[in-house]
A and B are shown apart, each in its own frame.
Chain A
Amino acid sequence: MKQNLRKLFFGVLWAICCIHVTSAQDYFPNNSGVNDTYTNYTAFTNAHIVISPDQTIKKGTLLIKDGRIVEVGASVKLPNGTEVIDLDGKSIYPSFIDVYSDLGVTPPSAGNFTRGGSQQLDTQRKGYYWNEHIRAETNAFDQFNYDSKKAEELRKAGFGLVNTHVKDGIVRGTGVLVALNSTDDNETRILDVRSAQYLSFNKSRASRQSYPSSLMGAIALLRQMYLDAQWYADGHVKTQDLSLAALNKNASLPQIFYAGSKLNAIRADKIGDEFGIQYTIVGNGDEYQIIDQIKKTNATFVLPLNFPKAYDVSNPFQADVVNLGDMRYWNQAPTNPKAFAKNNIPFAFTTDQLKSPANFMSNVQKAIKYGLDEKRALAALTTVPAKILGKSSLVGTLEKGKIANFLITSGNIFDPESTLYENWVQGKKNVLKDYTAKDISGKYTLQLGDKSYDMTLSGAADKPKIEVKKGDTKISAKVNYSEGWIGIILTEDGKNSRLKARVKADDTTLKGKAVVDSKEVAWTATKTGDVEKKDSKPREIKVHEIVPITYPNEAFGFKELPKSETVLFKNATVWTNEAEGILTETDVLVKKGKIAKIGKNLPKGSARVIDATGKHLTAGIIDEHTHIAATSVNEGGQNSSAEVTMEDVIDNEDINIYRNLAGGVTSAQILHGSANPIGGQSAIVKLKWGETGENMVYDNAPKFIKFALGENVKQSRSSTSTRFPQTRMGVEQLYIDYFQRAKEYDALKKSGKPYRKDLEMEVLAEILNKERFITCHSYVQSEINMLMKVAEKFNFTINTFTHILEGYKVADKMKAHGAGGSTFADWWAYKFEVNDAIPYNAAIMHDVGITTAINSDDREMSRRLNQEASKPVKYGGVSEEEAWKFVTLNPAKLLHIDDRVGSVKVGKDADLVLWSDHPLSVYAKAEKTMIDGAIYFDIDRDKQMRADIRLEKNKLIDMMLNEKANGAPTQAPKKNVKRALHCDSLDDSNHEH
């Protein structure tokens, strides 16, 4: 530890020294001769000067000295001795800034770790935060090693300044602001050694600490970290924590968060809001799809310009594999910057995610072609990044006093036909293309000694191509033209002749000396005519038609979100789930999202009438146990993860939401998995396809948490697991320990004394205080019994046992305890602990008097829960009316939402399904699925959507074929797939329950 600390202190010390060095060269002793520092004024005159996106001088002068801008204007008085560079006809722009770079900083590699070693549960670093993925103490400066090759690439793309950082970890520490000045050294080019703090949701490659293993874990960790940082700042921690100390110190810096996807951008911003931090968010390019939500973040975005290539769909067998959503992304992505501009969301551009900065400008041009205003494009490259870094007074425009970082171009910088000549960094010239080079292209007669040739020079002025012929015979020739000298090598009969000449500005004839057969010979090339200028225009960016966005933006997305309607279902068989039972030839009126009336021959009024004759109307199906619509399912990095919540990781674009609606499912509990005894908090949602995750979650949703028992939590199928517990015996003790700690935590909290806010303990205390319910993954009777006894010791009740396949063995005990059971209808034999699972389980639990539900835990079976509800009729003789409640009213009761949903009752939410047949029959199809009075699935609309999808895919395939025909680069067809998530789904596993 001592060593680490010392290293760090030296690092900081050095950093401080360097800051001073930058502006204090004068006092260095000089042992190398007399003073030879000479700086003069340089003026660029007659230039079109774009001072900033909003200020341009048509013909003006830019005056610089010592790397700074001294003056800029239409007429600038030049001090005596100013070096004047006439830029007549050329333009000057501020050079670009990339705030999300890793120039000169190599992120750590994972190479030190062997795969499949035993888990690392706790931190191995001492004196730092308990989680190794929090690395606020990292300063990119400490590992910064200026990479002049990469800097040159960036300069060629127009950049003059980057903010570079260690792209690694959840908190990544500070970045360095570096001018791409390869002439001077770090003491000059580094403008700020602690310029911003970087964060992300991604773990550090330098650590194999298992927590967090999921996105929701990373989110929870960030929350706990901010709480701990405050606790540390308040002086409650007696030991050193260099990570938190650094985090607190970095709090005043700009905070730049790498989100990596549109939904992660929303997630990151939400964390920021909770702790009073406005992150600048590094985006992904897909934000246009949810631009309204993006705007609400109030964040400035940093956008990559990695527009997808068209899929190569020329092989018909392969074309079909590409999803509509991915085809659309290709089609729409170039409009992303425009969407930001249109909605007045500030944004900068980054070269991040591009293979090479060389592709950068063509992508900016593409964005402009697709409607981005040029001023906004320039701002995204200059003023906005300057503002993000809080350096607007120093960089970003060509105003007086700012750093002399500018570009000299032949014209409009965004015009593909313009040339970028020079990129000046801190007043130092970098030539990219020599505009002083004389154009020597033309047809010549070359006289070399006594031989005569026809010679053609063509192509770019500074890089001509040569062709030499003797009569009709082509002679091998090479040309080099730079700095006013031309060199030619002719190879004839295996012998080389070397020609050179100084190109004179006012003479079209080239004259010089050559070495032929080791003898010096004079040569001349007399111009005989011009060459036809080949149209060397860059490939024109074709703007294709943009297909409209849907919600979500994929197949079966809605053009407009369904709206609540006034609807009268006429003449249905209504399964009320209430004392009225099953009513025949009955009408149900839906108004303002609620069930307004139930009765015979109800008046139509203003309602839209749906003829339900011969059909069955029921409450929507409620799935007590699902893992659809989730980005991640398990935070398995620790044996308890009570602090994580599924609400943070709702994936509202999961096609299975729509498929579930087509199976009559309207509500579901998105559960954490079963990787650990204490899992995470649930999200109880309505399957409002097209809505945001936030809007799917029930208002005032009852609080739930997933617990788990048995084979999964003891990691019985992992050969490397060392995590406690490894037996059912350990599971019991773990629970007692956690609840005891929660009890003590809660007592301290209630005492009014200072306490460290612990998100995990907060959640467990809610259970003790009966504010949060447990739904527990369970299989065998011993452990079921155990958990009820633990709960009773701590004076609370286990709300629900889910799976509960041996519930039938302890049904009497469950009844006495007050637990409900949510089970599979007929699953078994998939692992050892379900050997005694029987399809009669639901019937037995129900007979004993337990509130019994049938759930899915499977994204396919969930769309047939009506059939599954029928199985307890077959296995165990439950009445059909009661069996129907197993997938509607009973799960509503278990989820404590039965006051809102679960039955057809006046005043309840209009979550209804119209079935073509008896709902428990295998022959029944959901024809209409309604949530809060809005129809989210309609079998006729579905037919129309299918047709539309075919048409749109066809159209997009045509566009992509054209794109390929036009010579644009393509990518191989590919189908992006989401993994099926089950209880036990971790990064590598699948299909567990």
Chain B
Amino acid sequence: MNLVYTNLIKKVSTAAYACLYALLLVCIPLNAQQTPADPQDEITSIVGATAHIGNGQVIENCIIVFENGKIIRIGADVTPSGLIIDGKGKHVYPGFIMPNSTLGLGEIDAVRASIDEDEVGSFLPHIRSIIAYNTESKVVESMRPNGVLMGQITPRGGVISGTSSVVQFDAWNWEDAVVKEDDGIHLNWPGSFSRGRVRLGEAPGIIPNKNYAKSVDEIKTYFRNAISYPKAKTRRHLPFEAMQGLFDGTKKLYVHANAAREITDAVIFAKKMGVKHVVIVGGYEAPQTIDLLKKHQIPVLAVRTQSLPASNDDDYDYPYKLPKILADAGILVGLQNAGDMERMNSRNLPFYAGQIVGQGLDKEEALKMITSNTAKILGIDDAYGTLEVGKSATLFVSKGDALDMRTNQLTHAYIDGRAISLESHQTTLWRRYMNKYNTLK
């Protein structure tokens, strides 16, 4: 960790300021979060590292130069300038992106007052996650030391949960954090199976959902009304107004669905309704719908990689290999981790990609699933997701392979060229108690 300190100190120009900064770090009170970094004011060059571009390409002994938050040069034979960061023996990656996330919408799972993820109601396209996104979340700051630097903040619950936005993880407030505001609407497709309600005399276990057709029909009606709304002369309707982006292509429709039948029904429905961009979230049985997904070029944000198979009969490693199966079939795949304890577990995003490598997927292909693929799916690939000239300098340096927890050790991280802190509430406590015991020794 001394390296972090050294480099932080290197970053600031005067010795006095460096001292002050170091002092600040040590004196940080327990509940304070890391101070957002200032805008990049000096050209920075990372020299000699293995650069994982995020598009499948690897450049050994690479020089990455960025200025004003943008990469201006990258390659093995470009000229470094400005502040030089020694990357020899290290690896550089684009910042990892966690889509379909509730980071910043909740702090402590079991404390209701700290949770802002699920609004009352069923059809809530107008509900916007971004205004509740808490940049001061201690959970969010714990993402950065593992290389997870961006996320799509997504509301939960209901049929249409609301509208998500893409943020970066080092900001004073949500306006600062926004990368893409109101990027998509999230639709929870009804399950064709449901858990039997024993109290109502239904069999326990998972049984066919008798209300499936009815629930699907409700969604159809809702979309039809949303489509006719602009022509109809009615009062202002906030939800239908929010829906319009789906039809003019400014918003994507994220359909959360897992069973093959649901995916099929949802895709056919969305296309019929004239939704321009559709993304499947979950997609447990997506391998059974490959042809359809390919035909309509629909990407999948795959169900949490490190999760249990849905059925006793499924291969023990099915969720591990699902993204590979889809990628091998030519589907654009990103990783996400909605589910139990999702927020704090989000920092393990790189290792989900690593898990798929264990299933035989090429490392750089796995990397795409948490960088460029996700950026494409979220529609931010013009600026994020790869290490290419003209793109944002949102990247980090790791001592080793960042997809393996064994070697994921960050020394530097940048968001839009800003050198962000890799400290957190957790590192503060670590240092405080190690210091206590070292003194005792």
- Complex CA distance for A501 and B437, rounded to whole angstroms: 109
For A835, what are the chain B residues with a Cβ–Cβ distance below 8 Å? 108, 138
For B433, what are the chain A residues with a Cβ–Cβ distance below 8 Å? 808-809, 811, 844
Let me know if A530 is at the binding interface, CB within 8 A.
Answer: no
Beta-carbon contact of A871 and B405 below 8 Å: yes
For B344, what are the chain A residues with a Cβ–Cβ distance below 8 Å? 826-830
For B206, what are the chain A residues with a Cβ–Cβ distance below 8 Å? 321, 974-975, 977
Q: Which of A200-208, A699-707, A920-928 contacts B (4 or more CB under 8 A)?
A: A920-928
Q: A874-B409, A976-B204 are in contact. Are A923 and B347 (CB under 8 A)?
A: no
For B205, what are the chain A residues with a Cβ–Cβ distance below 8 Å? 974-977
**What's the least CB distance linking A939 to chain B, in Å?**
10
- Complex CA distance for A812 and B439, rounded to whole angstroms: 12
**What's the least CB distance linking B146 to chain A, in Å?**
8
Quick one: which of B139, B261, B307, B312 contacts A555, CB cutoff 8 A? B312
Q: Which of B37-45, B224-232, B353-361 contacts A (4 or more CB under 8 A)?
A: B353-361
Let me know if A692 is at the binding interface, CB within 8 A.
Answer: no
**What's the least CB distance linking B309 to chain A, in Å?**
8
Beta-carbon contact of A973 and B207 below 8 Å: yes
Let me know if A759 is at the binding interface, CB within 8 A.
Answer: no
Let me know if A66 is at the binding interface, CB within 8 A.
Answer: no
- Complex CA distance for A662 and B308, rounded to whole angstroms: 12
For A991, what are the chain B residues with a Cβ–Cβ distance below 8 Å? 340-341
Let me know if A860 is at the binding interface, CB within 8 A.
Answer: yes
Let me know if B313 is at the binding interface, CB within 8 A.
Answer: yes
For A844, what are the chain B residues with a Cβ–Cβ distance below 8 Å? 430, 433-434, 437
Interface string of B339-375 (1 = CB under 8 A from A): 0110110011001001101100000000000000000
Q: A860-B307, A973-B208, A975-B206 are in contact. Are A874 and B437 (CB under 8 A)?
A: no
Q: A317-B259, A829-B139 are in contact. Are A864 and B306 (CB under 8 A)?
A: yes
**What's the least CB distance linking A403 to chain B, in Å?**
40
Beta-carbon contact of A321 and B406 below 8 Å: no
Q: A831-B110, A975-B205, A977-B206 are in contact. Are A863 and B354 (CB under 8 A)?
A: no
Quick one: which of B111, B139, B313, B408 contacts A874, CB cutoff 8 A? B408
Beta-carbon contact of A655 and B312 below 8 Å: yes
Give chain B's interface secondary structure class: loop
**What's the least CB distance linking B263 to chain A, in Å?**
11
Let me know if B192 is at the binding interface, CB within 8 A.
Answer: yes
**What's the least CB distance linking B144 to chain A, in Å?**
14
For A662, what are the chain B residues with a Cβ–Cβ distance below 8 Å? 316-317
**What's the least CB distance linking B157 to chain A, in Å?**
17
Beta-carbon contact of A839 and B426 below 8 Å: yes
Let me know if A972 is at the binding interface, CB within 8 A.
Answer: yes
For B306, what are the chain A residues with a Cβ–Cβ distance below 8 Å? 860-861, 864
For B259, what are the chain A residues with a Cβ–Cβ distance below 8 Å? 317
Beta-carbon contact of B434 and A832 below 8 Å: no
For A554, what are the chain B residues with a Cβ–Cβ distance below 8 Å? 312
Let me know if B72 is at the binding interface, CB within 8 A.
Answer: no
**What's the least CB distance linking B421 to chain A, in Å?**
16
Beta-carbon contact of B358 and A924 below 8 Å: yes
- In the complex, which residue of chain B has the Cβ closest to the Cβ of A841? B430
For A871, what are the chain B residues with a Cβ–Cβ distance below 8 Å? 405
Beta-carbon contact of B430 and A325 below 8 Å: no
Give chain A's interface secondary structure class: loop
**What's the least CB distance linking A556 to chain B, in Å?**
8
For A325, what are the chain B residues with a Cβ–Cβ distance below 8 Å? 312
Let me know if A324 is at the binding interface, CB within 8 A.
Answer: yes
Let me know if B404 is at the binding interface, CB within 8 A.
Answer: yes
For B430, what are the chain A residues with a Cβ–Cβ distance below 8 Å? 808, 838, 840, 844, 875-876
Let me know if A953 is at the binding interface, CB within 8 A.
Answer: yes
Beta-carbon contact of A830 and B193 below 8 Å: no
- Complex CA distance for A828 and B111, rounded to whole angstroms: 13
- Complex CA distance for A823 and B358, rounded to whole angstroms: 26
Interface residues of B in 293-320 (CB under 8 A from A): 306-309, 311-313, 315-317
For A873, what are the chain B residues with a Cβ–Cβ distance below 8 Å? 405-406
Q: A317-B260, A860-B307 are in contact. Are A972 and B358 (CB under 8 A)?
A: no
Beta-carbon contact of A832 and B308 below 8 Å: no
For A840, what are the chain B residues with a Cβ–Cβ distance below 8 Å? 426-427, 429-430, 434
For A826, what are the chain B residues with a Cβ–Cβ distance below 8 Å? 344, 347-348
Beta-carbon contact of B208 and A922 below 8 Å: no
For A917, what are the chain B residues with a Cβ–Cβ distance below 8 Å? 358
Interface string of A964-993 (1 = CB under 8 A from B): 000000001111110000000000000110
**What's the least CB distance linking A653 to chain B, in Å?**
10
Let me know if B117 is at the binding interface, CB within 8 A.
Answer: no
- Complex CA distance for A809 and B433, rounded to whole angstroms: 7
For A972, what are the chain B residues with a Cβ–Cβ distance below 8 Å? 203, 207-208
Q: A809-B433, A830-B344 are in contact. Are A925 and B315 (CB under 8 A)?
A: no
Q: A325-B312, A876-B430, A991-B340 are in contact. Are A922 and B108 (CB under 8 A)?
A: no
Interface string of A647-680 (1 = CB under 8 A from B): 0000000011011001000000000000000000
Beta-carbon contact of B426 and A323 below 8 Å: no
Interface residues of A in 666-720 (CB under 8 A from B): 711, 717
Let me know if B107 is at the binding interface, CB within 8 A.
Answer: yes
Let me know if B196 is at the binding interface, CB within 8 A.
Answer: yes
Q: A876-B430, A977-B205 are in contact. Are A870 and B193 (CB under 8 A)?
A: no
Let me know if A546 is at the binding interface, CB within 8 A.
Answer: no
- Complex CA distance for A243 and B351, rounded to whole angstroms: 59
Let me know if A783 is at the binding interface, CB within 8 A.
Answer: no
- In the complex, which residue of chain B has the Cβ closest to the Cβ of A836? B429
Name, among A711, A829, A873, A922, the residue most crowded by chain B CB atoms within 10 Å (CB to CB): A922
Let me know if A318 is at the binding interface, CB within 8 A.
Answer: yes
Let me know if B109 is at the binding interface, CB within 8 A.
Answer: yes
Interface string of A925-962 (1 = CB under 8 A from B): 10000000000000000100010010001000000000
Beta-carbon contact of B204 and A659 below 8 Å: no
- In the complex, which residue of chain A has the Cβ closest to the Cβ of B357? A923
Let me know if B440 is at the binding interface, CB within 8 A.
Answer: yes
For A832, what are the chain B residues with a Cβ–Cβ distance below 8 Å? 108, 110-111
Beta-carbon contact of B111 and A922 below 8 Å: no
**What's the least CB distance linking A227 to chain B, in Å?**
35
Q: A826-B348, A923-B357 are in contact. Are A918 and B406 (CB under 8 A)?
A: yes
Beta-carbon contact of A922 and B308 below 8 Å: no
Beta-carbon contact of B404 and A811 below 8 Å: no
Q: A844-B430, A874-B408, A974-B203 are in contact. Are A923 and B358 (CB under 8 A)?
A: yes
Interface residues of B in 63-115 (CB under 8 A from A): 107-111
**What's the least CB distance linking A300 to chain B, in Å?**
30
Interface residues of A in 68-126 (CB under 8 A from B): none
Let me know if B387 is at the binding interface, CB within 8 A.
Answer: no
Beta-carbon contact of A830 and B110 below 8 Å: yes
Q: A318-B208, A662-B316 are in contact. Are A874 and B307 (CB under 8 A)?
A: no
For A836, what are the chain B residues with a Cβ–Cβ distance below 8 Å? 429
**What's the least CB distance linking A315 to chain B, in Å?**
8
Interface string of A498-538 (1 = CB under 8 A from B): 00000000000000000000000000000000000000000
Beta-carbon contact of B207 and A974 below 8 Å: yes
- Complex CA distance for A976 and B204, rounded to whole angstroms: 7
Let me know if A859 is at the binding interface, CB within 8 A.
Answer: yes
Interface residues of B (CB under 8 A from A): 107-111, 138-139, 192-193, 195-196, 203-208, 259-261, 306-309, 311-313, 315-317, 340-341, 343-344, 347-348, 351, 354-355, 357-358, 403-406, 408-409, 426-427, 429-430, 433-434, 437, 440
A-B contacts, 26 listed (Cβ < 8 Å): A317-B192, A323-B313, A324-B313, A808-B430, A808-B433, A811-B433, A811-B437, A827-B341, A828-B344, A829-B139, A830-B109, A835-B108, A836-B429, A840-B426, A844-B430, A860-B308, A861-B306, A864-B306, A870-B404, A922-B358, A942-B316, A946-B315, A953-B313, A972-B203, A974-B203, A976-B204
Pairs A-B, 9 closest by C-beta atoms = A922-B354, A831-B110, A975-B206, A840-B430, A829-B344, A555-B313, A838-B426, A317-B261, A830-B109
Additional A-B contacts beyond A320-B311, A826-B347, A840-B430 (8; CB < 8 A): A324-B313, A659-B308, A808-B430, A829-B108, A835-B108, A838-B427, A839-B426, A921-B406
